[in-house]
Chain A
Amino acid sequence: MSVQQVLFDAPGPKARRNIMIGNVVGAILIIGLIGYLVSALASQGQFAPERWAPFLEWDTWRFFLLEGLGYTLRAAAISVVTSILFGLIFGLGRLSHVAVIRWISSIVVEFFRAVPVLLMMIFFWLLFGSLDIVRPQDSPFIAVVLGLTLYNGSVIAELVRSGVHNLPKGQREAGLAIGMTRSQSLRAIEVPQALVAMLPALISQFVVILKDSALGFIITYSELLAYARRLGSGEGNMLQSLLVAALIFIVINFLLTSLATRLSGFLSFRTGGKTRKDKNEKVLAADPAGTGTGVGAA
C-alpha cells in the first residue's frame, strides 16, 4: 500500500489528533449508517426469528442452499475447464504465424468479448429448445456453460497472448538457437512460462465465471440464486435468502481473490514475465467484474 505514503507524511502530533477525530467521526458515521439500516429493517419486521430460523435447520441447507450451490459449482467447474481449452486454442491461434488463422482467431475472440454473456445464454437456450438435440431439461445447463466458455475463453485467449508478449526477450531466440521450430518453441518454452505468469489473472477470471453462472437464473437454470429465490418465496423471507446466497458467493470469491493476490506476489519471484495485472492492459480489466457481468456479469 504505497498509496498511503504518497499522499501524506508520517503524521505529527497535530495531524495525529486530526486523524483521530476523523476516525471517530468516520466510525460514528459507519455505525450510524448500519444502525439506521438495522432499525429500518427491524421496523419492517425483517429480524423476526421466523425469517431467520430456516437457516438454522439442516434441511434448508441440504435441500436448498447446498443443492443450489452444487449446481452453481458444477456449471462453473465445467466452464473453467472448457474456457481454458478455448482460450489456449484461440490464444495460440492469435499467435500463429499463419495470417488466416490469426485473423479468424482475432475475429472470434473480439466478437465473443463484445457480446453480453446473457444474450449468448438466451440464444443457446432457445436454440436447443427449438432444435431438439438435447434433452429439454439439460438445455439451460448447456447454454450456461457455452455462454461462459465463449466469453471467458476469449478473455483467457487474450491472457495467453499478453502473457507470451510479456515474456522477457530472447526466449524464442533461445529456442530457435537450439534448433526448435517457431511452433515448438511456442509450445515448449513460451506458453508454459506465460501460463505460470498469468495464473493469478486466470484465478481472477474464475471469480468472473462463478459470478456469471448466476446469470443462469434468468434462463431457468436451477443454480444457487434460483434455489434461494424458491426458498425465499416458500418461507416468506426473500431478503434473508438472497442475503445468505450473496454471502456464500462473497466468501468463495473472496477466497479465490485472496489466493490470486498471494500467488501473484509469490510467482513474481518465480517467473521472468509479469504476474501482476497490467493496469493498462485492456484484457485484464475487461470484465472487472466481471459481469460478465465481469466487471463481472454479462
Chain B
Amino acid sequence: MEDYLSLLTEYDVLGAFWVNIQLTLWAGLWALLLGTLLALMRISPIASLQWLGAAYVNIFRNTPLTIILAFGFLALFGQLRFSLADDLNLSLFRIAILGLAVYHAAFVCEAIRSGVNTVPLGQAEAARAIGLSFLPSARLIILPQAFRGAIAPLGNVLIALIKNSTVAAAGSVAIETSTVMKEMIEFRSDVIYPIFFTFALGFVILVIPIGLLTTWLSRKLAVAR
C-alpha cells in the first residue's frame, strides 16, 4: 500500500486527468460550434448544404476516432508539416483537439437534429405565419427549443468525448491518462490493480455526475407541452 502511495507522488495523476479535461472542454466547444452549423445546414432548404451536412455526418460517424487522431499526427503533422503552434507539444495538443472536435461534431449535429424533432410542427408554422424566414425562425424559435430538447443526447456526446479524450494517445499527446497509466504500470507492474482502479474510478467520478446533471437539466428545462 505504501509502495502504491509513493507511486502517486512520483506520477502526476491529477495532472494527467486535467489534460483530458482540457482536451474535452476545447474539443467540446469546437464540436458544439461545428455541430450546430452542420445541423443548421441539414435542416436548411438548400439542397447542396443538406447534402454536405449529411455527407460530413456519414463520413465522420463511420470512421474510427483512432484513425482520425493517427491521421492528425502521422499525416497532417508528420507528412504535411501542418502545425498549430510553434511549440511541438502544444501543436500536437491542438491537433488532437481538432481531431476530437471534427469527430464529435458529427454526433453533436445528430443530437441537435434529434432536438429539432422534439419541436412541434405548429411552432414552425407560427414562425412562418408572423413572417419569419428560415434563418430568423431557426434562430429565434426552433433552435432555442431544440437545444433544450437535445440536452440529454448532448450530455451523452460530452460523456463519450471525455472517455474518447484518452485516445489522444494515438495523436501523441503524451501526458494524458492512458499514457500515464501505461507508464505507471510498466514501471510498477506489482501494483497493477490499484493503478487501474485509480484511473477507472477517476473516470467514473467524472462521468456519472455529468450523466445525472444532464438528465436533471433535460427534465428541468424541458419545454412543457
Q: Which residues of A contact B (CB under 8 A)?
A: 2-9, 11, 15, 19, 22-23, 26-27, 30, 41, 44, 46, 110-111, 114-119, 122-123, 126-127, 129-130, 207, 210-215, 217-218, 225, 229, 232, 238-239, 242-243, 245-246, 249-250, 253-254, 257, 279-280, 282, 285-298
Check A119–B46 contact: CB distance below 8 A.
no
Check A287–B160 contact: CB distance below 8 A.
yes
A-B contact pairs, 13 of them (CB 8 A): A3-B113, A4-B43, A19-B46, A26-B52, A44-B80, A111-B204, A114-B203, A122-B185, A250-B63, A253-B62, A282-B211, A288-B160, A291-B164
Which one of B43, B58, B80, B199 contacts A119 once the chains associate, using CB atoms below 8 Å? Answer: B199
Check B63–A291 contact: CB distance below 8 A.
no
By CB atoms of chain B within 10 A, which of A4, A127, A285, A294 has the most?
A285
CA distance A56 to B11 in the complex (A): 48
B45 lies within 8 A of chain A by Cβ: yes
CA distance A238 to B70 in the complex (A): 10
Which one of B114, B164, B182, B215 contacts A293 once the chains associate, using CB atoms below 8 Å? Answer: B164
Q: Which residues of B contact A (CB under 8 A)?
A: 42-49, 52, 58-59, 61-68, 70-71, 74-75, 78-80, 103-104, 106-107, 110-111, 113-114, 116-119, 121, 124, 128, 134, 137-138, 142, 149, 152-153, 156-157, 159-161, 163-167, 169-170, 177-178, 181-182, 185-186, 189, 192, 196, 199-200, 203-204, 207-208, 211, 215, 218
CA distance A81 to B107 in the complex (A): 26
Which one of A239, A249, A296 contacts B80 once the chains associate, using CB atoms below 8 Å? Answer: A239
Taking CB as reference atom, which chain A residue is nearest B127?
A: A7
The dominant DSSP class at the A interface is: helix
Check B65–A11 contact: CB distance below 8 A.
no
Check A211–B169 contact: CB distance below 8 A.
no
Check B111–A285 contact: CB distance below 8 A.
yes
Check B104–A295 contact: CB distance below 8 A.
yes
Q: A residues within 8 A CB of B59?
A: 250
Minimal beta-carbon separation of B136 from chain A (angstroms):
11
Q: B residues within 8 A CB of A293?
A: 64-66, 103, 160, 163-164, 167
Check B52–A114 contact: CB distance below 8 A.
no
Taking CB as reference atom, which chain B residue is nearest A237?
A: B79
Minimal beta-carbon separation of B115 from chain A (angstroms):
8
